[in-house]
Amino acid sequence: MKFALFGINTGPCADPAVIKSVSVAAEKAGFESLWTGEHVVLPDPQEPPSPAPPLTPLLHPSTALANIAAITDSIGLGTGITLLAQRNALVLAKEMASLDVLSGGRLILGLGAGYLKAEFDALGVNFEERGARTDEYMDVMREIWSSDNPSFNGRFVSFSGIQSRPKPARAGGPPYVMGGTSPAAFRRAVARCQGWYGFAMDHDTTASCLEGLKRAGEKFDRPDSLAELEISVTPRAPLTGEDLKRYEELGVDRLILLQSGRNQEDLLAFVDQISGEFIQ
């Protein structure tokens, strides 16, 4: 089992000193990767399904991860998740290629379509088109990263006669990890991604999602180049030994744990606890 931390760019970790301390400690403790959350804006006042109070500090994911890349050596850097439909695909491709180069190929690109209509409205992006944009932008980024003569002619993006360098550190770009529990998310994960990510899961919801992925695998072809789908889960509740065993039995490959604590001392204690109980 791989162990990771979620929320390295939010809450107490929005403080530069705390993000540095926790990131370095997590790498030394044996964590496999660190994951950001993302919302450009949050509804004010908070209303369902908004996940956080409107004044919650959230550092920009690639900015936070570039900072972490400079102070660590080997720990993976995951976006959990990048809301692809809200972005300009070519700008995001440049942003993430730059991060992958600066980190020495450590980026794990978690992607999702998004679900907060108020956020899309504020950004001027059609909420109803988010799925179609997500599909197209995934192709756009792979094209600009992998082709020697990139071109694309789609519904939202068209280009030719351009280049964008440097390319990512890894041929073809960083791995895609699709977040979400909808049939469309399962389809994207199976047909186009190296991994799938379920957030705030328990054993039953994880099992249900894995069944959804299995059904998608029966309907959609998976290219051989993608290898086996890697399963990542953020548990809803604090982890216990019995929980770990059950996630392992389900076939989960990575647990991306919610950090626990209101300050640097609490977060470092959490890192030590997880390392001592489950990693070392």
Three-state helix/strand/coil letters over 197-209:
EEEEECHHHHHHH
Nearest Cα to Cα of residue 172 among 232, 133, 226? 226
**Residue ranges making up the domain that contains 101:** 2-279
Q: Are 100 and 146 in contact (CB under 8 A)?
A: no
Burial of 184 (0-12, 13-18, 19+ CB in 10 A): middle
pLDDT for the residue 64: 98
pLDDT for the residue 205: 98
Going by the DSSP 8-state scheme, the letter that residue 230 receives in this structure is E
When divided into structural domains, the chain yields a total of: 1
pLDDT for the residue 172: 95
Q: Which amino acid is at 169?
A: A
* Alpha-carbon span 267 to 21, nearest angstrom: 9
At 141, which CATH number?
Answer: 3.20.20.30
* Alpha-carbon span 90 to 235, nearest angstrom: 33
The angle formed by the CA atoms of residues 93, 35 and 85, to the nearest 5 degrees, is 40
Q: Are 49 and 22 in contact (CB under 8 A)?
A: no
Which two tokens mark 22?
Answer: 């926790």
Residues with Cβ within 8 Å of residue 192, at least 6 apart in sequence: 138, 176, 178, 226
Which two tokens mark 258?
Answer: 């919610």
Mean pLDDT, 10 residues at a time, over the chain (280 residues)? 98 97 98 98 96 96 98 98 97 98 98 97 98 98 98 98 98 97 98 98 98 98 95 97 97 96 96 96
* Alpha-carbon span 244 to 249, nearest angstrom: 9
* Alpha-carbon span 73 to 67, nearest angstrom: 12
pLDDT for the residue 93: 98
* Alpha-carbon span 141 to 194, nearest angstrom: 15
